[in-house]
Structures are given as structure tokens and as C-alpha cells.
Amino acid sequence: MALFFKAPLDIEIRLEGEDTRQHVDVKGEKGRRESVPLYVDGESVKGSVTIRPRDGKRLEHLGIKVQFFGSIEMSHDRGMHDNFLSLAQELAAPAELRHPETFEFEFKNVEKQYESYLGINVKLRYYVRVTVLRRMADVVRDKDLWVYSYRMPPEGISSIKMDVGIEDCLHIEFEYSKSRYHLKDVIVGRIYFLLVRLKIKHMELSIIRRETVGSPPNQHNESDTLVRFEIMDGAPVRGETIPIRLFLGGFDLTPTFRDVNKKFSTRTFLSLVLIDEDARRYFKQSEIILYRQ
């Protein structure tokens, strides 16, 4: 029978201005939603740590430290964290606690070079960790925060023009006004039917995020359909034009990630899908760049 020992102390981590700071709602352990305070690149991370001995007993410790980490965690490699950011401060030397004590900490002007990300197989996480060193077993508490990375928009605004064709059966041109969008942007485009000899039942536009983890030959790809938007129901005719207007602000999107710390990337695609009366599917994908503005 396994025995579980209750920690002889409580650790409370409070971030300065936490109650008034903007929060981000993210998926936590076991699918629960958690509200996490939001930070940006270059912002200081400061707060306080309160250590409370339990049951009024005196508590001996070998020191107390606080750390600030930025790490990349892979679901296929549990227990292995790649820390791209690691800062530490000593809060207290070895001593004995009889009453609750509070310690202040501050990590000034911290460079947070990547945006927080929670994907299918990878998590980019920032957190404060407090460790009370003990002879028997250290007591550790973590507190997560979320980071947004605001960047200048990529240069150049090029439109996307593609066509879908099946010889003597189908020829469709579709065009989007640009290939780069901020996360609250609007996708504007049109679909033009040049030749229609198939019995098209309906057509939909999807936004797909493709997550790539690792590097060849041990690379793993996984795709997730974030948005599915029906743009036509019924058979089109030759010469018909269907306008597209898709507001991105209502969807759970993330910026495009390019080879983050040589660990993972994410790419976003617009996928146009046509389905005929025999349930056959015809599709064409085009990559778009997403950024936070």
C-alpha cells in the first residue's frame, strides 16, 4: 500500500497586480480551464512568496529559492523539459520558521522571446517556481503565466490565387486578398466557377493548423481543424461568383511559429473543400501567415 505524506508547509505565490492584470483562459490539466495572468516580452515579473508552516509547528529548511522558467515540453517525451529561459534568486538562507513569512522577488525586464503555446503534442510554458529545500524532500510550487508576443506585421501583402481543376469536369478559381493576417483580421476573397460538370452538393472553407515537432528523421506532424465554415449549399453554375468574408477574431488561433528553439513549428492553412453528391471530396490548401498585432 502506497503512503502519501502531507507537506509540512504551504507555499503561496502572488504576482504583483495579478487581480487587475488581463488574464487568458487556457486549457489546464485534465481538460480544466484555467485563468492565467498575461505578460509581454520585456516586462518584469515580480511578486511575493508566503511560506506557512502547518499545524503551528516549527519548520527547518535548507534555503528557499525562486526561479523563472521558459520551457518547451513534448508530450511524447514526458519528463523532459527544454528550458530556453532560466533565472533564479535566493529568498532565504537555511533557517527555522515558526510563523508565516513573506519574501519579495523580482526578475527585471525579462526577455520572453517566444509566445506561450498549447498544442497537440507540445507546450511552450512560462512559470515561476518556488523551492523550499529540505533534508527529507524539497517542497516545490509552480505558478504559470501566459505570454503574448506582439510583432511588426510581415513585409509585403501578396494575394493568394489558385485554381481547382478536373479535366473536362471542373474548373474553379479562388482568390484571397492577402496571405498574411493578424489574429483579429478578416479573410476576404471570392470563388469563381469557370466550368461545372460535377454535381456539387456543398462547399466549405476550413482553417487548419499543422504542428511539426522534432526534426528529421524523428519528426512528427499533426493537424487540427480549428474552423469549418460552410460557404455554399447547393449546385453552382458556370460563371457564378461566391464572396468569402471570414472574421478571425472569434476563433482560438495562434500566430505562426517558425522552428521555435529548433523544437517545433506551426503552420496555418486555408483549405477549400468541395463535396459532390457521391460524397467525393475535392480540396486545395494554401498557407497563410498569422501574427499578433
- Decide if pLDDT at 232 tops 60: yes
Inside any domain, residue 242: yes
Q: Domain check: are 99 and 223 in the same one?
A: no
Domain count along the chain: 2
Inside any domain, residue 3: no
Higher pLDDT, 265 or 293: 265
d(CA 219, CA 215) in angstroms, rounded, equals 5
Higher pLDDT, 167 or 69: 69
- How far is C-alpha 249 from the chain's CA centre? 16
Inside any domain, residue 154: no
Q: Domain check: are 144 and 170 in the same one?
A: no
223-253 burial code (b ≥16 CB/10 A, e <16): eeeebeeebbeeebeeeeeeebebebeeeeb
Q: Domain check: are 253 and 174 in the same one?
A: yes
Higher pLDDT, 30 or 273: 273
Q: Domain check: are 29 and 91 in the same one?
A: yes
Q: Domain check: are 140 and 212 in the same one?
A: no
Inside any domain, residue 18: yes
pLDDT at 218: 81
Single pTM value for the model? 0.87
pLDDT digits (tens, 9 = 90+) for 74-101: 886 665 678 999 999 999 999 999 899 9
What's the residue count for the chain?
A: 293
Inside any domain, residue 4: no
- Decide if pLDDT at 143 tops 80: yes
Q: Domain check: are 216 and 127 in the same one?
A: no
Q: Domain check: are 81 and 35 in the same one?
A: yes
pLDDT at 78: 64
- Decide if pLDDT at 51 tops 90: yes
pLDDT at 154: 64
CATH number at residue 278: 2.60.40.640
Inside any domain, residue 249: yes
Q: Is 6 helix (H, G, I), strand (E, B) or coil?
A: coil
Mean pLDDT along residues 241-245: 88
Higher pLDDT, 92 or 238: 92
pLDDT at 277: 83
What percentage of residues in the chain have a pLDDT greater than 70? 94
Among 148, 176, 207, the domain-final residue is 148
pLDDT at 118: 94
pLDDT at 1: 42
Mean pLDDT along residues 207-218: 89
**Do 76 and 5 form a contact (C-beta atoms < 8 A)?**
no
**Average pLDDT over the chain, rounded to an integer:** 88
Inside any domain, residue 153: no
Q: Domain check: are 123 and 245 in the same one?
A: no
Q: Domain check: are 282 and 210 in the same one?
A: yes
Among 104, 122, 148, the domain-final residue is 148
Among 122, 148, 174, the domain-final residue is 148
Q: Domain check: are 105 and 21 in the same one?
A: yes
Strands 117-118 and 101-107, bridge-based pairing: unpaired
Q: Domain check: are 130 and 48 in the same one?
A: yes
pLDDT digits (tens, 9 = 90+) for 97-119: 989 999 999 999 999 999 999 99
- Number of neighbours of residue 175 by Cβ within 10 angstroms: 15
Q: Domain check: are 184 and 83 in the same one?
A: no
Inside any domain, residue 70: yes
Structural domain containing residue 100: 9-148
